[in-house]
Structures are given as C-alpha cells and as structure tokens.
Structure 1
Amino acid sequence: MKIIKSIPYDGYHFEEVHFSFIDKLFIKTKYRKIEFNRNMFDQDFSRIFNYSFNKKNKLFNIESNNEKIANTLIKKFRTSHTFHSTDEQIRSLIEDIAQSLIYLGKAYYFIYDNESKDDINIRSFKGIGLFNFYNLFLQLVPKRLSQDSDNNKIYQRELRLLDKSKLIKFNIPKKIKKILFLQNRILASLDKHQYDTTKFHSTATYKNPNPNSSFDFLVWQATQEKILYHATRKTGWNCRKNDASKHSEFFIYHRLIKFHRNQLILRDHILKQLSAALTNIGNKYTTNFYITITPTSHLSKIEELNELEDRLAKEEVNFTEVLNFCYERE
C-alpha cells in the first residue's frame, strides 16, 4: 500500500473496485436505501429558501475588509447551479451543504489549485474512506481499475494524506443532529413496514374465493399516522399533510413555525462555518482578512420566529400572518 500526499479521490465506480476486509472497515459500499418518509423529509428540510421571492431583494450581508477578494472567493465554490449573482451563489451553496449534511451527516469541500492560471476552485467531494488520525486527514483508496476504457491498468491501494489547510468540513448543529437521529430511526421503521397490511389479507381458496378479513385497516393507518406525527414532533415536519379535519389549525401552524426555526438554525450554522472557511482561505492572499456573511432583513430570523410563536400562543396573530411570514417573507 502506497502512502502519498495527494488530492481527494472521488471517482468511485464500485463495480470496478476490489474491496478487501480492511477497505470495508473504512468504506461503505452501499448507498442508503431510498425510503418514502425519510426521503420526503430530507427534501423538505434542505429546501431552506423560498424560491418565489422578489429577486431584487438582497438576501445576504457580506462584511469584509476586502470586498473584491470576498466576492472572488465565494464564486470559487462549485455549486449545483451556476449563478452570476453573489446572492444566488451563496443561497445555492447553503442548500448544497444542507442536503449533504441531512443526507450524509457531513459535507466536505477541497481547495484545488489550478497551477497554469495561478488560481483555485473549491469543489465538494463525498469523503468516502476519509478519517482523522492524530489531527491528520487520511483517505483510504482501495485497489481499483483504471477508468480509461482503453486501459486495463489496476491501481494499487493508497493511503492519501490530504492537505489539512485545503480541506473544508461542514458539520451539522448538535441539537439538529440529535433530533434527526431519533426521528430517522422511527421513520426507517415506518418505511420498512409501510406495506405490511398485505400480510393481513385472508388467503383466498377454491371454496372461499372472497374471504372476509376482520383486520381493521383504518386503525392500522391511524396508528401509523399517529406514530409519524409523534416522531416528527421535535422537527415540526408536517409529513406533507395539512388535513384540517384531523388537526386543528393551531397544531398545523405551530408545527410550521417549529419546522422553519430548525431550518434557520441549520442555515445560520452553515453561514457561520462558511464565513470562517472563507476567512481562512482569504488570509492566504492578504493578512488579517476577514469575511462575515449574515442574513438581511428580507430573510426570517430565529428571534422573529420566537416572537411570532409567543404571539400565536396569546392569540395575537392569525394563521394567514404565520403562513405569509414563513413562506412569503422573501
């Protein structure tokens, strides 16, 4: 096994990789199974911003002692979409990071040098096989085939030592991480047994082709729904159900406030980490460089949501105002 200083390896095609016992200790060879409720939650929770807002409104304040370097560094991050506006770039970057944090629990970026242009670009990578040992970041890369179709060369296993100064890691807030862990365990169980009602159908026979079943499917459905709402109580997710015949309007809008607050906690945590990462990168170009990215008044604040929740409890605000605040604020 070779030990080399290198950039992260992110070109996995698992059918072309030869995994040993040691490799399997560090590398997951299977992706997470797509689950019904869990997948819906991940999509909803990572959709932090309202895309129907007026694009003339500025979403983020950028405070820096070198505005030119600050804007340049922000645009060095590769996002899922290409934008000319710095605002759009930051928004897309936050949601990219949020998706990775919610789905994988971590988000990694690496600063790649472009020596021919004396430039850099910052791209995400999955972090497969990455681990920390005595403050060193190492990535185990298994034996693998060349990705060149005309070349059948086999590359030997490598242990790559990554440059810590070029590695950017985003983590999820501890509070959010805890409630997601507890919620996702229950969602996984519900998804696993979602279609178990088929087991309770009576088997048709020649003598009785249309057997009656005493199993009450409505009770089964109501029980699953009750468990689902209990599991999502701390995140506030509405499970994409807004049936006013089953829940009071207060219940629906109180949960909406809670869900949006958790999104804002995640958003602000990502912004804080992004500001720190950009400051560290900028200090390589100019001394004492700093950058701080914060939401403008066109984005909701946690303090405002807390105040709104208090007013709702005191019956000082109607449900339309709550809906407009959470969905039309931008």
Structure 2
Amino acid sequence: MSAGRQLDNDRFLRALKREPVDRTPVWMMRQAGRYLPEYRATRAQAGDFMSLCRNPQACCEVTMQPLDRYGLDAAILFSDILTIPDAMGLGLRFVQGEGPIFDHPVRDERAIEKLPIPDPGAELRYVIDAVTTIRAALGSRLPLIGFAGSPWTLATYMIEGAGGSDYARIKQMAYDAPEMLDALLAKLSASVSLYLEAQIAAGADAVMVFDTWGGVLAPADYLRFSLEPMAKIVAHLKRVAPTVPVILFTKNGGQHLEAMAETGCDALGLDWTTDLGKARTRVGHRVALQGNLDPAWLFASPEKIEAAVRRVLDSYGQGSGHVFNLGHGILQQTPPEHAGVMIEAVRAFSPAYHQLG
C-alpha cells in the first residue's frame, strides 16, 4: 500500500489528517481537463474521450499537465466516474453535446442480478495501469488522488441511461421497489470498494468518492440510498488501508455533514452553497474540510478572484484541516490564467492562517 511513502510535498495529506502545515494546500476538481489547451491537444490525438481514458500513458500525460503549469499540491488520476458501469457491460458511449449514454440501462431485477462485479485487475486494468504509470512519473513530487463515483450516482446513470435527467426512473425504483435498488447499490458498493482498494495498491495516496447526485434526495432517502453505501466503502477501505485518507463529497449535501463525518472518512468536500466556517463548527475535529470556491468566480477579474480566495480562507479560519478547492469541477470555459491567479492567491495568503505555535 502507498501509506508511508516519502513525498517532497505532503501538505495535502497532512491537512487531511489535520496535522500542522505551513500553508493551505490547493488542488482543483477536474484540474486536468478541457479548459487547458494542452489537454485538448492530447484528447484530439487520442481520438475520443474513452480512448483517452483507456490509454494509461495518455492519462499520465494529462494528469501531469496542470502540475507542470501550476503550483498544485496534489495530482488526481485522470479517469471517469463511469468506468465501473462500463466494465459491467452497459455499453457506455459519449455523444457530443449530450454527455454519457448507456445502450443497456438497468431497469429491472433480472438486469441487476446479471450485473458482474468488475475485477480491477481485468476489466478495469487500464485504470490501475494508469495509476501505476502516474505514480512512477510523479516520483516523490506530490501525492496522487484516486477516485470513484458513489454507488447512488453510478446507479442514477445506470438506471436513467444518460446524464442530465430528472431522476424519475431511479426515484421510482427507490420509492416503489427499494429492495431492488438496495441490491444494485450493494453490488456497486462492493465494486467501488475493490476498485479503490486496487488504486491504493497501485499507488494512490488518498481516494475520493464523488457523490454528484446525492443532493437530489430527501434527507431520509439520502441516508439510506446514498450515505449508507458510501459508509460501507469507507469501512472496507479503513480495514484494508487504514492510513490512506478517504474524502467524501456530496454535491448539495451540506445539510448532511454530521452524518457524513460519522462514516469514519477523513475529510468532506463542500460545494459553495455551504458556509465553510459553519461547517467547521458543525463537524469539529472529526474530519478535515475541502473546498469551496464557486468555480464561476474564475470568470471574474484577478482582483475579484483574490478577494474571493481571501473570503474562503477567512471563513475556515486559523489552523490546519482545510484543503482549498473549488466547490465543484473547474468549468470548461475558464481562462487557464485565472485558475493560476486562484492558486497563487492561496499560496500567498494562506501562510498567515498557519502561524505555528
């Protein structure tokens, strides 16, 4: 396992463990992506998005691109949250202007029973090979973050058959046949657990679970269908890799922070709709917090971006336990130099919040 690796820059890992740091670490969700011209060039060479995802060397190249451009404190594996459903044989494809589509959505009990639990060393080998390749390229430079989609989020895509839906089909299953959905979520919890375990074994220093759609659920339904499956993943990872930090992120999940902290995870990602300072008070010393600048701030002028960074740092306040990030993924139209302004502002302003002693 990757625990115990000596890194030149381990601020990110120390902040997740709420240990003292000299400044607030910073990285960006989707930091390797379409806003960078170098990414667009690599993707054009690959042919299409999934061809890029299935090419470990190309994944390594695009993972390293933002690290070479900015002073970031962590790398994140370049991949997609839908690799597990794809490995289950659902016929994933990406359509220009429409996003992901599954040719074989899961709509009934028989379809759920037929779903395999993918072997990370076989059907998902290309992802694990990408982790190994990136880890070798990073050397001792920075920590590497692995990730997966949450069971609820993956189930949403698998049942609806596409993104951008009104969640009618999955909510109908949740309300009308909850045991059927429970069976699907159990398979996905097992699949994600094995997948993240394999990423850790291949060199990931921390892992993050992206619960993109948990925030569309009513509170009781969130606890059952979104948080409970994630808690099983956390429990598995803490058994097999107890020193590797686990981050949970539910978009629009600010009302659930206390329950999320009780899973045993190490950190919670926050979107911009939750006040960072109030969140810190609510969770106390149980978890670190990651976030939470609105990505749209990066369309503002450099002076406004710097002021927004200061407000986020002020909101969290003094001491460790904060990883600066956007409240969701960086937007495609973002000027790359504006992302650089944000990162440099964190590097310049945050040491004042870490006056040791």
> Normalising TM by the smaller chain, what interval?
under 0.3
Compute the TM-score of the two structures, normalised by the length of structure 2.
0.24
Which structure shows the bigger proportion of residues in helix conformation? 2
Which structure shows the bigger proportion of residues in strand conformation? 1
